[in-house]
């Protein structure tokens, strides 16, 4: 996470991106000032990445501003980090 801007840039190789419904991307933002991950994370189905990321050719980039009030395309995928393990268990047992 950029200390100056409160932003985490998440990079995903376009060549390895899949639209498999069982593949999800977890985005975490490291806070250097607290030496810990931010309390908010992203949990995005891989198939949705092209709709919410910036296509840089060989990479897709998601600009993540944890706890931002600004509305973005990633808003539906924002989750509390404390809920992440439960959410992953729910996703893996739903199939």
Q: What is the pTM of this model?
A: 0.88
- Residue-wise pLDDT for 24-51, tens only, equals 999 999 888 889 999 999 999 999 999 9
Grade residue 3 by pLDDT with cuts at 50, 70 and 90. Answer: very low
How far is the first Cα of the chain from the last one, in angstroms, to the nearest whole number?
33
Cβ proximity of 52 and 62 under 8 Å: yes
The residue-averaged pLDDT of 56-75 equals 93
Grade residue 5 by pLDDT with cuts at 50, 70 and 90. Answer: low
Grade residue 95 by pLDDT with cuts at 50, 70 and 90. Answer: low
């Amino acid at each position: 996470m950029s200390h100056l801007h409160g932003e985490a840039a998440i990079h995903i190789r376009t060549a390895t991106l899949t639209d498999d419904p069982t593949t999800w991307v977890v985005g975490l933002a490291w806070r250097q000032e607290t030496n810990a991950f931010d309390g908010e994370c992203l949990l995005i189905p891989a198939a949705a990445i092209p709709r919410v990321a910036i296509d840089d050719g060989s990479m897709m980039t998601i600009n993540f501003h944890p706890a931002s009030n600004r509305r973005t395309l990633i808003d539906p995928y924002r989750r509390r980090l404390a809920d992440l393990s439960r959410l992953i268990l729910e996703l893996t047992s739903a199939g």
